[in-house]
Amino acid sequence: MMQSGLMRHIRPDARHNDVMREVIDGVIEIPIGYVNAYAVVVDDGVVLIDTGLPGRADKVASAVAATRHRIGEVHTILLTHWHPDHVGGVAELRRRSGARIVAHAIDTPLITGEEIRSAKGVMRVVAAVMPAPERVPVDETLTGDGPFSVPGFTALHTPGHTRGHMSFLLDRGNGVLFAGDAAGGGRNGRLRRSPRMVTEDRAAESASVARLAELDFEAAVFGHGKSISREAALRFRDFAARLATQG
């Protein structure tokens, strides 16, 4: 759902394509196949949240250009977790921009290549058809909740989907939650879980949703599914209540 009267950060000639949309002021959703990356226009440039599938860095770069910014103005890339559909373009985008990479300390070895995890189940199928992401250094490792090096953003450790999964809260427009894969956007603003087969700890995932439901934010965007531009915290509270009844 997108509020009217936006698109102020996107060039007029790029407003009517399927490459991106402005969810709220300066928060640009970049759909890349079945996953979303995000560009956030800030005072000193652009921050990316996740980078989508391997081999699709050009699409992210085009979205940045459509905001009237050069790729070199991307100074930080925040990674929600290590899965290939979220970190697929990070190495190429780092080369083009010189951006710093930020991730949780637990997932960092899987992003840098210091730890190699054998693909299992559906991830084995994904690995067979998707190129492996290029490994990349992580410049800042996060270990908990709170402010960090990027002004206006608060880090939120939301384990479950992966042990080092991160969400980020942006202090803009009454709050924008970048949920990553802590939850997914469904029809009519109804939230949904990530598939069991790609979630490391379902109980931790439910606990993370409950923690997010305690926060105040107006909008929420997701790694998969439709964004919510109004009363998103209420949707999380409803979702947390549903999960609590499931045990």
Which strand (E) or helix (H) includes residue 38? strand 35-42
pLDDT reported for residue 197 = 86
Three-class SS state of 45: strand
Partner residues linked to 237 by β-bridges: none
Q: DSSP assignment, residue 228?
A: B
**Burial class for 174, CB neighbours closer than 10 Å (0-12, 13-18, 19+):** middle
> Does the structural domain 12-246 have CATH classification 3.60.15.10?
yes
- Length of the chain, please? 247
CA–CA dist 89, 74 (Å, integer): 14
Q: Which whole-number Å values give the CA distances from 185 to 29, 101, 188, 190, 194, in the listed order?
A: 13, 26, 9, 7, 10
Judge whether 183 and 199 are in contact, CB under 8 Å.
no
At 125 the pLDDT is 57
Q: Are strands 184-185 and 176-178 parallel, antiparallel or unpaired?
A: unpaired
Burial of 127 (0-12, 13-18, 19+ CB in 10 A): middle
User: What is the number of H-type helices and E-type strands within the chain?
Assistant: 7, 14
Structural domain boundaries in the chain: 12-246
pLDDT of residue 20: 79
- Tens digit of each residue's pLDDT, the chain (247 residues): 333 334 566 655 555 455 678 999 999 999 999 999 999 999 999 999 999 999 999 999 999 999 999 999 999 999 999 999 999 999 999 999 999 999 999 999 999 999 887 666 556 556 556 678 899 999 999 998 999 999 999 999 999 999 999 999 999 999 999 999 999 999 888 999 998 888 899 999 999 999 999 999 999 999 999 999 999 999 999 999 999 998 6
